[in-house]
Amino acid sequence: MLLKDERDELCGIGRRLAGTGLVTGSAGNVSVRSGDLVAVTPGGMMLDRMAPADCPVVDMSARLVEGERAPSSETPMHLALYEATPAAAIVHTHSTYGAVVATTMSELPPIHYNTLLLGGVVRVAEYATYGTPELAENVRAAMAGGKRAALMANHGGVAIGRDLDEAFENARLLEWLCGVYVRAKTIGEPRVLTDEELARVVERGLTPPEFPRVT
Ligand SMILES: [Zn+2]
């Protein structure tokens, strides 16, 4: 089986996404890259009920290389992000607070310094129908400039990482930041950190971990 370890990992992350409530049912998708191949979750399947053989392997042109099931409908977005960033893994969810912010705002302001771990202000990609090349392009644009996460208008969020664990943690951080923002709005106007305040945090060393150089 091609990418056996990676497909095992996809199943583990699927269970964690369901267990933490970031994903309900099949409303999310995950992928991991190894060289020129990508193992991705199948379309329309509960993420906590997948077996490794359920996860198809595609090449960078979205051609099915191995697997019985069809790749997730958002595979074009995953491939666009692998092309545009050094990501080795991608997690996309419809997590609640991420979807709330993505439905109401054009960006998530930096209200907590940990937003720097995602590359600062999180942009909301312009709306496009799910699974389309337009959506893939909009998300790629929102992720430009070294971002580790983006929101997708009226849809959800996406996070990248050097491996699946990191992409998962970035997705969890994105949801936490959105949750803090939304809850803060219920009791007042959240104070947004200034560029200077954020610069001082960067000086203390809080920046996203470097991606390995792609050779
Ligand atoms: Zn989606």
**Residue extents of the structural domains in the chain:** 4-203
Topology annotation, domain 4-203: L-fuculose-1-phosphate Aldolase (3.40.225)
Catalytic residues: 74
From residue 201, alpha-carbon distances to 52, 191, 204 in Å are 41, 16, 5
According to the model, what pLDDT value does residue 8 have? Answer: 97
Burial class (CB in 10 A: 0-12, 13-18, 19+), 187: exposed
With H, G, I as helix, E, B as strand and everything else as coil, classify residue 190.
coil
Spacing, Cα 207 to ligand 1 middle (Å)? 28
Spacing, Cα 155 to ligand 1 middle (Å)? 6
Spacing, Cα 74 to ligand 1 middle (Å)? 7
According to the model, what pLDDT value does residue 130 have? Answer: 97
Spacing, Cα 72 to ligand 1 middle (Å)? 10
- Are β-strands 122-125 and 149-152 bridged in parallel, bridged antiparallel, or unpaired? parallel
- CA pair distance 135, 91, nearest whole angstrom: 15
- Neighbouring CB atoms inside 10 A of 163's CB total 14
Q: Which of 98, 84, 78 is nearest to 17 (CA)?
A: 98
Local confidence pLDDT in tens for the 215 residues of the chain: 999 999 999 999 999 999 999 999 889 999 999 999 999 999 999 999 999 999 999 999 999 999 999 999 999 999 999 999 999 999 999 999 999 999 999 999 999 999 999 999 999 999 999 999 999 999 999 999 999 999 999 999 999 999 999 999 999 999 999 999 999 999 999 999 999 999 999 999 888 878 775 54
Spacing, Cα 64 to ligand 1 middle (Å)? 21
Q: Give 116's DSSP letter.
A: G
Q: What is the pTM of this model?
A: 0.96
Q: Give 104's DSSP letter.
A: H
Burial class (CB in 10 A: 0-12, 13-18, 19+), 84: middle
